[in-house]
Chain A
């Protein structure tokens, strides 16, 4: 029985990671082929960093990711504070509305947003609205629920007497938010930001529909590269993206684990 379950685990891992392993392996290929390994080299990485289009796509990705995750963190935290103050019934309604876009298939979200942007553009008298602005708005939109979901539990755990204690000591409500509430929900805010950042770097489908030809992100760049002659530098670029996302996810997990330990210690100290 144990043998079977072990074999099963290995099989799952192979299926999940074999494609990525092959991709990483061939990104170091000295030859031109994507199927025959002729020796180790970093030439494809070199080529990548000499390609202007790729570099500008990298720059665009980072700008959109930073801006969209930053803005959605601020908006999402504010929203979470508001939602936390609602009564139970309203909270459920609002949370369901918030969660719905996460369940929605990306392609539906992407197409509907594109239609909305084009429609809004036509009202404003422009027939070329798709680009940086629309991409940013779309990223903020799909990031928001993740920020809310990571901040809300921290707010719920916050002892409501802390806020009262601050007021009691002469602190008005808005100051209390920055001096007492924010430091105590910070771990949730940071997790939310990191998640938003990761999702934003990662996104292809929605970006594909809402961005115009003038503005490319890395995933879009990879896609456009595959449409021409497939060069091994795609492997190198994909490897880099995979590794960055992996690092981000590990950081998020480590942060969460640390935070849980801290909460556990506090719970024990309170007893």
Chain B
């Protein structure tokens, strides 16, 4: 008797919730009706009139932003624990806090547009369509990694998505990126190259060389400065006379964007792509922030206060911003978003477990891919007699 009363009460308790969730819920994949959202801050521009603050998006897009950014965040945190467990060796530069730049950029471009970035490339790789399993395998140096385990954290590549990596030397990717744009112009592809670099690399001479040539020849290059305000441990005001990186192009137009707002990034990249295809290079400065230190060997708190880091996390976190937008526009409930995050966590854990089981590369891989196949060059080891291998 008591049980039945209990059960009836519980069903009545359950019912309202069930009906409201059915009424309120809109499924991820179906709703593409445009929603207009204003960016957090207006764009600041140099030599060009800025795009409008009103960005068109949709529920589907916002939910995909949320999920993808949550995936990236989770991946970086998992990489952190793997590094501390010594499963990832070498260097590991984490991107958490900066996810909006990778996500917003992807939303504005196609896979035919090329992206090239520095060593902080895990999330950019994911944004380009890279898999979690490939990413973790590469981090742990396994054969199933995207670069066959020979590149490591700093050298993720994905050819079919026009992701040109992944570069260890600071600033070296900028002339390379302009070269890619040059090739795109030659082949009349109607595609652009997004060359990403940091505020530390902005002081490299080769950047200005590349910029001059790109401007001279009207190359479809978009130079994106991911300004997280610290070049390793050096704050921007201590290393740059002019921290207005978007203006540094002088004769090249520039735009300053709130890099923690995925929609602003999307708007800016869309605008930049159109500009680059018609008028040549443009510089985008993404005002962003990284929560971790420069790399895993940097605690990240010797040159900035913990209050600063938590302050940014509370006020400007990119995932929270999209979460608030989703809830405000009634696209999903807080619980559904939390469930999505839990799902993402499971996905990441599964990928890590799978990657841990992968084999390390064969010793013969040490000699492969130095030259093109069949070059026949010999590689000598100790003594030129004991160990001789013909490079495949």
B partners with A: no
| Residues of B that sit less than 8 Å from A by CB | none
